[in-house]
A and B are shown apart, each in its own frame.
Chain A
Amino acid sequence: MARILLQSKSAAVNPLKSSQPLGAAFAFLGVDGAMPLFHGSQGCTSFALVLFVRHFKEAIPLQTTAMDEVATILGAADHLEEAILNLKNRTKPKLIGVCTTALVETRGEDCAGDIANIKLKHTQELAGTEVVLANTPDFDGAIEEGWARAVTAMIEGITRSGERARHPKKIAILPGCNLTVADVEHMRDMVESFGLKPVILPDISGSLDGTVPDRWVATTYGGTSVEDIRELGTAMQCIAIGEHMRRPAKALLGLTGVPYVLFQSLTGLQDTDRFVSLLSSISGAAVPARVRRRRAQLQDAMLDGHFHFGGKKIAIAAEPDQLFQLATFFAGLGSEIAAAVTTTDRSKILEKVPAVSVQIGDLGDLESLAVGADLLVTHSHGRQASERLRIPLMRIGFPVFDRLGSQHKLAILYQGTRDLIFEVANIFQANQHAPTPEALDPLRNREISHERCSPPLAGQ
């Protein structure tokens, strides 16, 4: 069981976190016709917007209530009302997802009450538009919590409650924020190959997959439909992916009685086997031949790839569920998790991370813990540490702003695990150091070289 080390510094150095409202907006962006709205000053929105755009290389719908000094002192309910009405009139969204920020939460505003009043006051004007609130102050949590809170808010605010007639083939899937567009697309294919009908919330594969629509759309253009969210209660089964999705899955269970199964990770042979078995038993269908073929490909990739992983020291910094997903992947191929850094101590998954300890911290912590590691695994901001330590960086998570196509990188199920093995093995091969007489000299620095030995030939 990993020991959780709390942060003791006062100055965070090179933050690992992105903010909680950004995570909530991210989830709202996976809904069709959505417009996320930050309740705070305009800078909160501008920073998040720029970060999204740098990551996705897309126009991102995101608006602000633009709180100023007066609103900060006298209260910002008017700003919220004006913003919601303006958005409704200008962009005609199907969903306005309000994400609170530190500013409005520090004031202690009753945003839920404000929204209830606004809805009551403008029932007709707001017809056809759902307004949902996620309480996401920046001083708490990070992307994962924000994402999960937004999904919970959508279920609690939109899904029709009560036991419903269940559709035997319908599966509700609640993916965590660490799943990419490619992951979601691939998972849908997999579920459909069993004759099942998946409803995925949020579905970023429909809205953030980078396409060229034939007209200008101010909201998202694709993703889960509001109607599908409303009808989630008719699903036979709910599948949640990532520990942070337990809360929304529980909310759905409480509201509609739809039972859930939670997968902490879908990367790796065994987790995928469990997932596939579940689909097979729900659908009553045999595992299709092409899925079996993928499994065999993964077995072969593990056989070919394990030479490169054994004994390697990996330093990972990521949000809790992604940290778990990657750490179990690397450990499962024989690597050692030399450093594990994450954003918050709230997640139960952390003690399961296959590392001696998990540091709650930042990329400054990663940089000092990763000395002597063979690979850094974190988002693009790890580039400075990578340069200084001269250790290659594998970019994962959010934001990835200095490489193209991160959303189309697959990392789950048989195929994604196979691809991940190849990617990592190729990074190791590209950064191999040829053996030299000095490095191999048995009489030179015997103690140190023994202590630090990665594979004796490839290391140093």
Chain B
Amino acid sequence: MSSLSAKIKDAFDEPACDKNRGKDAKARKEGCSKSLTPGAAAGGCAFDGAKIVLQPITDVAHLVHAPLACEGNSWDNRGAVSSGPTLWRTSFTTDLTELDLVMGQGERKLFKAIREIKHTYAPPAIFVYSTCVTALIGDDIEAVCKRATEKFGLAVVPINAPGLAGSKNLGNKLAAEALLDHVIGTVEPDDPGPYDINILGEFNLSGEFWLVKPLLDRLGIRVRACIPGDARYRDIASAHRARAAMMVCSTALISLARKMEERWDIPFFEGSFYGISDTSQALRNLVRLLVRKGADPEILERTETLIAQQEAIAWKKLESYRQRLQGKRVLLNTGGVKSWSVVHALMEIGIEIVGTSVKKSTVQDKERIKQVLKHDKHMFESMAARELYAMLSEHRADIMLSGGRTQFIALKAKTPWLDINQERQHPYAGYDGMVELVRQIDLAIHNPIWSQVRQPAPWDCQPDLIGELPCTRNETAYLFDEFACATAHEC
């Protein structure tokens, strides 16, 4: 696997990554994968990471070369949305059995599987994922893909990111490498234009990119390729003809952005569509890059007009939540940048941030957070489940915003919780998305269940214990009154 290890080394030496730049030469050499502690590890593998990045490409057949678990336990589980093709939600795997492994039939089975998919579904491309076991037994998926490409006359792309190579983040990077090596630049568009852009690292979760795209449409900006959210294979194959790119709040695809700049002279910036001012700033940066690349400068003014309009509407809508949310305490427990983007808007309407995880934040991010939060102690690298549970059950926050991994810590501590990671149900991007986020926070905090589920059972509030229990004498008296009332009515 010499080529794979070379790829990994390359992926970790990322000059455009802030975090990487901040390290000395020795630390940089070690890469950014932390070695995992057996028995105390969490998170997905490299295959998982690669699949996350590529699966939202909607018209591609994604074929996983593996025994059952890699695909069988994980398919159709993402919140990305397609505006058309549904093939990406169909699961394909070689489902290798013991016999296949013992007899060394892996490559043959893979080739046949590609043929079956080609005949039944006729997709524009098939992505073939290697995994731990097929890497271990030495199946050469690159050779099989090459042969299949020649034989069937369609793009069969090897994605070489077996789980044992490392973490999810590494898998993201290896997926980007596969796109660079095999996909981007393979199709020449017949209609390139001065307002063509790429959006990198946008997944269209809950369709949230559709909250942003109309703004770009209004400005006359065309999204050549959104990678990967709601993408088509041809869009990505011709993405090299865009004039500018935006890398959306994730360092996962930074190498893709940088290499596209190097190879095809597509300048990029890092931006975010979460939060109001971040959305505005992203629009500004985009048009500036386009103008720099030759677009008519009149677009700058049109952009400012649109921003002013949209911001005014959004702030007006948010203002109506101020009274209900003023002074509410939010705990942000998720990867740094994303949460950071919404902090400004939350604070603007009077919400207090009582803590934020900075696990994935860059040094710069941490500085920004420090300035706003005023207390360093509110920043934490990561919090053990037990500690988090303690903090929440003592009501030191009114709501936690996080990903599914910590959902049940909050709920079991009887604390409102909102999903802001990939399984979330609501779109939060753009101006309307920020309003939606605040609306969801309001709904979560003010749901009437909280006072009910926190109430101990009446028979647990025995008179001699009342002083020690959260149930006060007055409340108990009231409870009995009500009970008496109800009985009286019935009689």
Contact = CB atoms under 8 A, between A and B. Distances in A.
Interface of A: 9-15, 17-22, 37, 40-48, 50-51, 53-54, 57-59, 63-69, 71-72, 79-80, 82-87, 90, 101-103, 106-107, 137-140, 142, 212-213, 215-216, 218, 362, 364, 381, 384, 401
A140 B97 contact: yes
Nearest to B97: A139
B92 A42 contact: no
Interface in B39-86: 39-48, 63, 66-77, 86
The 10 closest A-B pairs by CB, nearest first: A43-B45, A86-B39, A83-B39, A11-B113, A19-B69, A83-B38, A10-B112, A139-B67, A59-B408, A216-B389
Nearest to A140: B98
A101 B385 contact: no
Contacts of B136: 72, 103, 106-107
A137 B73 contact: no
B16 interface: no
Interface in B116-153: 116-117, 132-133, 136-137
A339 to B, nearest CB: 19
B75 A48 contact: no
B326 interface: no
A10 B36 CA distance: 35
Nearest to A12: B95
Interface stretch (B160-168, B231-239, B342-350): B160-168
Nearest to B108: A10
Interface in B407-460: 407-409, 412-414, 453
Interface of B: 1, 35-48, 63, 66-77, 86, 89-98, 100-101, 109-110, 112-117, 132-133, 136-137, 163-167, 385-386, 389-390, 404, 407-409, 412-414, 453
B433 to A, nearest CB: 24
Nearest to B385: A216
Contact of A22 (B73, B112, B113, B137): B73
Contact of B100 (A48, A67, A139): A139
A213 B413 CA distance: 9
A47 B163 CA distance: 12
Contact of A44 (B69, B76, B90, B116): B69
A143 to B, nearest CB: 10
Given A15-B71, A17-B72, A216-B412, A86 B40 contact: yes
Contacts of B114: 11
Contacts of A46: 42-45, 48
5 contacts: A42-B44, A50-B404, A86-B39, A102-B67, A138-B68
Given A11-B113, A41-B45, A86-B40, A138 B67 contact: yes
Contacts of A9: 113, 116
A29 B97 CA distance: 26
Given A41-B163, A138-B69, 10 more contacts: A9-B116, A15-B95, A18-B72, A43-B44, A47-B44, A69-B164, A102-B132, A106-B136, A137-B67, A139-B68
Contact of A14 (B42, B77, B91, B164): B91
B137 A106 contact: yes
A19 B326 CA distance: 48
Nearest to B406: A59
Contact of A69 (B40, B70, B165, B412): B165
Given A14-B91, A216-B385, A384-B76, A65 B69 contact: no
A84 B39 contact: yes
Contacts of A41: 45, 132, 163-164
Contact of A51 (B73, B86, B91, B385): B73
A435 B277 CA distance: 58
Contacts of B92: 11-13
B7 to A, nearest CB: 13
B35 A139 contact: no
Highest count of chain B CB atoms <10 Å: which of A10, A12, A71, A84: A10
Contacts of A87: 39-40
Contact of B75 (A58, A64, A381): A381
A45 B132 CA distance: 13
A137 B77 CA distance: 23
Contacts of A102: 66-67, 69, 132-133
B164 A68 contact: yes
A412 B408 CA distance: 30
A364 B87 CA distance: 13
Contacts of B95: 12, 15, 17, 362
Contacts of A48: 69, 73
A407 to B, nearest CB: 15
A90 B40 contact: yes
Contacts of B113: 9-11
A406 to B, nearest CB: 17
Contacts of B390: 216
B101 A139 contact: yes
Nearest to A401: B77
Contacts of A45: 41
A101 B413 CA distance: 34
A142 B68 CA distance: 9
A40 B164 CA distance: 9
Contacts of B45: 41-44, 46
Given A50-B77, A103-B133, A140-B98, A42 B72 contact: no
Given A68-B35, A139-B101, A140-B98, A17 B68 contact: yes
Contacts of B409: 59, 216
Contact of B36 (A42, A140, A142): A42
A47 B69 CA distance: 8
